[in-house]
Amino acid sequence: MLRNYRRGDVLSISVTDEKIVLGQVIEKMRGNFLLAVFPDLLDANSSFDIESLELDEPLFLLETMDIRIKDGIWPIIGNRELANRIPTPEYKVWVEPPGEYRIQYADGRLGVSISPERASVMKLHKSYSPAVVEAALRGFHGFGPWRKTFDELAF
C-alpha cells in the first residue's frame, strides 16, 4: 500500500541495519520532494520525541523521488514545523531567448533575471535518486566511500 506524506513529515532513513538518520519533507512536488537530511547518527531501535529533536541544521538539502516514502522504506515517524533556518533553495537556469540567467524556484517557477556573477555561485536545479542519498549517508558516516558527486548534496 502506498503511503501518503506531507510537508513537515520526519523520516527515518537507514544508514546501516542498526543506525539511521532523520530527514524532513520541506516541500512536496509531483513525484518528488525537497528533503532536508540531518547529520546525527541514531540507533534504529530507539524511540524519539519528535518535538525535542534538533532539526535546524541539515547536512544535505536536495530534491529526490518520493518512492522510498510511498513504499515505507523511509518510514514517517512524526510531523513537526519546519525550522525557519532551512530556506527553500533557489537555482540558476539559462533561458533562451532572451539569453540570460534567471532564478528557478524548487517548484520549477522562473523568477527574475540575475547577473552572470550571481549565477556563478548558484547551483543548477537537479534531482537525486534515493539510492544516491543513502550512499552519501553511508559515505559521510564512514560505512562506505565518499564520492565527489556527494558534495553537491551539501546544504
Give the pLDDT confidence of 100-155 residue by residue, as tens digits: 999 999 888 899 999 999 999 999 999 999 999 999 999 999 999 999 999 999 88
Whether residue 145 lies inside any domain: the answer is: yes
Whether residue 117 lies inside any domain: the answer is: no
Whether residue 78 lies inside any domain: the answer is: yes
| Domain containing residue 17 | 9-86+126-153
Whether residue 66 lies inside any domain: the answer is: yes
pTM of the shown model: 0.91
Q: Which of 74, 70, 21 is nearest to 48 (CA)?
A: 21
pLDDT confidence tier of residue 2, bands split at 50, 70 and 90: confident
Tens of pLDDT along 14-24? 999 999 999 99
Whether residue 65 lies inside any domain: the answer is: yes
Q: Which of 141, 142, 143, 130 is nearest to 41 (CA)?
A: 141
Whether residue 105 lies inside any domain: the answer is: no
Which residues neighbour 152 within 8 Å (Cβ) at sequence distance 6 or greater?
A: 123, 126, 128
Residue 1 pLDDT greater than 80, yes or no:
no
Q: What is the DSSP letter of 73?
A: S
Give the distance from CA 61 to its chain's centroid: 4
**pLDDT more than 90, % of the chain:** 81
Whether residue 102 lies inside any domain: the answer is: no
Looking at the structure of the chain, the number of domains it has is: 1
Whether residue 133 lies inside any domain: the answer is: yes
Q: Which of 90, 86, 69 is nearest to 10 (CA)?
A: 69
